[in-house]
Structures are given as structure tokens and as C-alpha cells.
A and B are shown apart, each in its own frame.
Chain A
Amino acid sequence: MDPETLLRHAAQRARREPTLLGFLLAQYQEHYGLTEKRLAEVLGIDELGLARLSLCGLPRRTSFFEDVGAIAGRTGVRERELAVIIREAEFLRNRRRERDAWFNFRAARRQEDDEET
């Protein structure tokens, strides 16, 4: 198996790996119904570049812009667009978590009510 195929395979798996950027990008893509090609265009890279970007870790909170700069330097992605997309994807992820927590809370309350009656 050649290195590019292995890299693309790993990048696809990164879409399900919360510690990697691929996970956030996949959620962003899904939310806006973007194809990989379109997302790559927005970020100013090709699809192989997007695969490489997916394998990067998440920028640290304490050095967010510095880390985004390092990722951009390593992958050729547009720095500003990447920062915006990561922030928005994080916002979407947090909102989804809050919504899930709320549904779980409601479901637990309903169950408690059912058991009491």
C-alpha cells in the first residue's frame, strides 16, 4: 500500500477520532452539507491537503492562534479560514452536547415520573 493511500485511509478514520481535526471538520461538513472538495476549496487546499489537515490535532486553548499558524504552515491551509471553521465547529459541537444533555435530562425526568405513577 502506498503512503498516500495509507494517509487517506487514516484521514477517513480521523473523522471518527475526537482528538483529531478530522472529527471537527467532519461535523462542520455535515452541518453545512459540504463535500470534501468544497471544504478543501474554502480552505485553499486540495483533497490530499484536506486529508493531511484531518490528521492534525486540535489547537490548544492556551495557544490557539499559534497552533493554527503551525497547522497552516505544515499543511498549506488558509490560516484565517481554518481558525474560523474550528471555532464554529467547536461551537456546533458544544451546542450539540448541551442539546443531548438536555434531552437526557428530560428523558430521565420522564422515567422518574413514570416510575412514581
Chain B
Amino acid sequence: MMDEAALRAIHRRLLDGDPTASLDLVEQASEEIARVLGSKYTVDPTWIADAVTDALFDVIRRPESFRSDLGSLSHYLIMSAEGDLKNRIQRERKHLSVVSLEAVEDDASEGKTPLADQIADPDVDPDRWVEEMDPTLTKTVLEELPDECDRKMLQLMMERERRTSAYADVLGIPHLSAEEQRRIVKQHKDRIRVRLQRALKRQGWRDGS
């Protein structure tokens, strides 16, 4: 349980602009918020860490967004982090269902999209097909990625960056173990691959030309 009185004191310091209050908030609250989310959702731990950080940074950025007369700060932070996490889970689910629907439609159609299929093939090295794409095409798909982090990752892939550490820096996970970094980086590359596949299909790219 978080010490509500201590959190309130930190919140007052945030309102006053005390520069050490943000560190205190992270140190006081992050573990408990992560514990609550972890007990409710079985997801990638980085998703939980992201949700926790987002909730804390929101209050750090705009401390006035929390009104102390309407409830406890600990509850507010947990609700905020849980909301972020639920949104992310929904986004990913929606995304996966769209992708699988597109795959079914493709199977039923006569015209195949070899490049898009190749991108969807999990056995294909996700870096290789990006490197081999037509540069004009990669520029187009780069514009399709709304997330800055995804764009940076794709840029690294296009630049033939092979080091996991470079991707880990972009994802903000250099502190994790090498094995964990590899797993998460691969997960993100796979996700980018699926997004690109959708973008390519939407734009009617065929035969990789």
C-alpha cells in the first residue's frame, strides 16, 4: 500500500515546482502501481512499466490534473495507469484481428502480394526485407507509422543496424538483460512488420515493385 499522506506531500511539492518531487513520486509510487497492474493483467512487463511511467509523468507534467478533494492520489495513479494499459491491450487486440482478417481475405483472392506475404512470414529475417525494399517504398511506409518509436526502429532497420542494443536504446529498455532485450526487440520488429504488411496491402503494392 502506498502512503497517501506522503504522496499528498509530494503532490504539493510538485505544484510548488520542487524539482526533487518528481523523483520522489517515481520512487514512492511506481512499485505499487506495477504490482497492482501485474496482479490483474498478464502482459509484457514493459507494457506495465510504460503504463506506470505514463501515469506518473502525467501528474509530474500537470500536477493540477489531480484534484485532491476528489479522492486519493494512489487511486488516481492506479486508475490512470490501468486505463493506459487497457487501451494498449485493446489496440493490440484490434490490430491483431484486423491483420488476421486481411490474411483470410488474401487467401480467398486470386492476386497475391508476394512482398506483403514475405513480410508476414515469421521465418523471414525482419531486417532483411526492409533492407531489400525499394527506397521509395520504405519512405512511404515510414510515413505510415504514427509512433515515433516505431519510425526510429524502422529507420535503424533500413540503415542495416544489427545491434540489439541500438534498438533497446530506442525502446528505452537498455537496463534489461540481453535476453529480455532480444525478446522485446524481436516483438517490436514483428509488430512493425505486420503494420508494414497492412500498409503495403492498403496501398495495393504487388510483386514487391
Contact = CB atoms under 8 A, between A and B. Distances in A.
A7 B30 contact: yes
B49 interface: yes
Given A9-B175, A17-B61, A3 B19 contact: no
Query: From DSSP, what is the main secondary structure of chain A's interface residues?
Result: helix
Interface in B6-40: 17-23, 26-27, 30-31, 34, 38
Contacts of B83: none
Interface in B54-93: 56-57, 60-61
B173 A12 contact: yes
A10 B26 CA distance: 8
Given A10-B26, A13-B57, A74-B23, A57 B172 contact: no
B15 to A, nearest CB: 12
Given A13-B53, A13-B172, A70 B20 contact: yes
B48 interface: yes
Nearest to A70: B20
Nearest to B54: A13
Contacts of A20: 22, 60
A41 B194 CA distance: 42
**Contact size range, B:** 20 to 34
Contacts of B20: 56-57, 70-71, 74
Contact of A3 (B21, B31, B176): B31
27 contacts: A1-B38, A1-B48, A3-B27, A6-B30, A6-B31, A6-B49, A7-B27, A8-B175, A9-B49, A9-B50, A9-B173, A9-B175, A12-B172, A12-B175, A13-B172, A17-B60, A19-B61, A52-B23, A55-B26, A57-B17, A57-B19, A57-B60, A58-B19, A60-B17, A60-B19, A70-B20, A75-B23
Interface of B: 17-23, 26-27, 30-31, 34, 38, 45-46, 48-50, 52-53, 56-57, 60-61, 172-176
